[in-house]
Structure 1
Amino acid sequence: MHELDLRGIDLNLLLLLNALIEQRNVTWAADRMHMSQPAMSRALARIRKLMNDPILVRGGDGLMPTPRAIALHPQLKRLLNDITHLISDVPFSPQLLTGCITLAATDHEMIVFLPKLMSLITQDAPQLDVMVIPLFNIAAECLHDGSIDLAFGVAQATLPSYLCQELLYKDTYITLMRRQHPAGNCLSVEQFSTLNHVQVTAVGNSGGSAVDIALDKLGLHRRIVLQLPSFITAFAVVAASDLVVTLPASIAQRYAIQSDLVAIATPIDCPPINHISIWSRVRDADPANQWLRKLVREVASRVES
């Protein structure tokens, strides 16, 4: 195999390559790197020659990275991060952090984590901004390349090898209903299955939940009258009707009293809900990401479920 001579390569091209892949636009990449658009176009031509790959090609929505560009991007991010730490002699301090971090979370995790997490972030890193986006299937791709710093979700399947995860806390289910509900506040599993239910589909998937799977094993079925993407709306609907909703205790108990709802034990045996944080291996050794995960761990230790 021919050995590559690094002395003949401008390593600054790696920085420009990263900007091009992330921005998917030559002009935007040039602005990010504080250079002119023609200069970035010339750099792209050099990168294409070096990599023997187009890197960016025309697509339906403008420029799109090639399969090779997508494959090398996580390794490129890790390499640039390692170089930064290698030559930096300034100890990490969250007080010096600027810019914006991106979190991906379900409605549930936003409610449970965000208030206390933001309090800690603004204390430790007052110059740092935070963007929170909904956790949908596309988040896994964004986590892969490191454009999302941290995601929160429920452990449901084995994650790809390029992602890391940490168990934050375990949760259980409880059922909420309005006061003076005709069913009373102590239900058998048969009675539970005959009620009209609200289901919160927090991640945009209306497939069978753990509750429905447990009922199916007993040969029972419940009617889901209303599916919603929002917990807050579910509380309002249940308070004004004879519908009931079964939710993780960590969020249900927070709002039962203020929504004037009664919390009762869910009369079926469901496995615990494992709430996890997820991040890219690209960011695993990043001190800023480690600091963020430490704050999340601190908030999770206080969650009541």
Structure 2
Amino acid sequence: MRNLRDPGKSLRAINLNLLPVLGELLRQRSVTKAAESLNLTQSGVSEALGRLRTQFHDELLVRVGRKMVPTALALALAPRLDELLGDLDKLLRPATFEPAAVEREFVIATGDTIILALGDQLITRLSTLAPRTTIQFISIQYVTRRDLEEGKVDFIIIPRGVIPPSAFDEEGLDWMKIYREEWVCITKRDHPRLKGELSLESLNSLPSIACRFDDSSYLHGALPGRTNPDQLRVSQFTLLPLLVAQSDAVALVQRHVAKWFADHIPIDVFELPIPFPQLDVCAFWSAVQRNDPMHQWLREQVAEIVQTGDSPWLPSVAIPTAGVSHTE
């Protein structure tokens, strides 16, 4: 009587690498032909057959004259083995990835100016290439690194190096540079108190409007060189042009924001009277998302939007995709 052993113990004991050899032996019914098909030596296939016989406690293939005839157990195993090997092949073979077939919502924590820079082209690309995918933009104000690591947020897109590590630690996150922000001043068109240029003196004499999320925010659109207080503070940079166009105030905004609004409402754009640092806007994501095909696809779309310059509102200084990197 056959010794029926614990199936769990049997599974742990078997070398799964032997199963393709058994499958080929049952198809070819010849050690020589199986060895040729598997690109192995005859001795290697013979050794594998010996180990399989030990594992299954059965001869599996018996030599009858010049032929090898499968035993009853081998005949019973054959269809199940073919199915198992087929499933393993599907498991190990890279899945076909079609963005158009993916139904997914991405959550991106960022600011309104970045949405303005990327939004129009993202709409076009998603509707054309991935119509079942949605991007939900949320404010970065209350988003933490843990939200990124736990998958509650797919990307955080912010200027790199602005927020100190105590508030947002970049160490260990994957990231890529998207574009570089330049800053300018805006006023209403043909401001009566300005004569074609903005000086430090006029910067201090005019009322001002700034962007700041709250008192603890590190992203603060304060005018450089201005000593007087701001008359208004708002939580969105894209409100500044609308408010400036209706008042005598001056405001500091990103160049691409100023360019967009100057084409739509009556505002003038001035270079800053003193130097102000440019900022690299970067996307951050968790290493858990690194090899996610749809996540990779969306990263590629964002990089291409900037690289191709399809949007007229994007910053003129683009960062190439070679800037993509990650830390282990």
**TM-score, scaled to structure 2:** 0.60
State the 1:234 CA deviation: 1.9
Q: How far has the Cα of 1:189 moved from its partner?
A: 2.1
TM-aligned CA deviation for residue 112 of structure 1: 1.3
Q: 1:206 to 1:199 in 2, by over 3 A?
A: farther
8 Å Cα contact 2:185/2:250 also seen in 1: yes
> Which of 147, 150, 153 is the matching residue for 2:152?
147
How far apart, in 2, do the equivalents of 1:143 and 1:229 lie? 23
> What CA RMSD, in Å, does the superposition of the two structures yield over aligned residues?
2.6
Q: One-letter code of the match for 1:132?
A: F
- Higher Rg of the two aligned structures: 2
Secondary structure of 2:231's counterpart equals strand
Map 1:221-240; keep pairs closer than 5 Å. Answer: 221-240=227-246
Q: CA deviation at 1:125?
A: 1.1
Q: Which residue of 1 aligns with 2:126?
A: 121
Helix, strand or coil at the partner of 1:146: coil
Q: Superposition pairs for residues 1-305 of structure 1, below 5 Å?
A: 87=92, 89-155=94-160, 156-157=162-163, 159-184=169-194, 185-201=196-212, 205-206=216-217, 209=220, 211=222, 214-215=224-225, 221-301=227-307, 302=309, 303-305=314-316
The alpha-carbon deviation at position 103 of structure 1 amounts to 1.6
Q: Which amino acid aligns with 2:188?
A: R
Question: How many pairs does the alignment contain?
Answer: 218
1:211/1:268 contact within 8 Å kept: no
What code does the residue aligned with 2:299 have?
R
Q: 3-state SS of the aligned residue for 1:180?
A: coil
1:122 counterpart SS class: helix
Q: Offset at 1:206?
A: 4.7
In the alignment, structure 1 segments of 5+ residues that lack a partner are 1-6, 9-84
Distance 1:171 1:129, change over 3 A: closer
| Preserved CA contact (<8 Å) 1:168 1:276 | yes
Native 8 Å contact 2:188 2:245 kept in 1: yes
Determine the C-alpha separation between the residues in 2 that align with 1:96 and 1:204: 44
Name 1:63's counterpart in structure 2.
Answer: none
Q: TM-score, normalised by structure 1?
A: 0.64
Moved more, 144-153 or 258-267: 144-153
Question: For the Cα contact (< 8 Å) 2:177–2:280, is it kept in 1?
Answer: yes
Match of 2:77 in 1: none
Structure 1 residues 94 and 209: CA distance shift in structure 2, 3 A: same
The 1:277–1:86 alpha-carbon spacing in structure 2 relative to 1, beyond 3 Å, is farther
Amino acid at match of 1:271: P
Give the whole-Å Cα distance in 1 for the aligned partners of 2:259 and 2:198.
18
- Offset at residue 95 of structure 1 (A): 1.7
> Shift in Å at residue 193 of structure 1?
2.9
How far is 1:236 from its partner?
Answer: 1.9
SS of equivalent to 1:233:
helix
Could you tell me which amino acid in structure 1 is paired with residue 151 of structure 2? G
Aligned-partner Cα distance in 1 for 2:156–2:197? 37
Identity of aligned residues (%): 21
| Contact 1:165-1:277 at 8 Å conserved across structures | yes
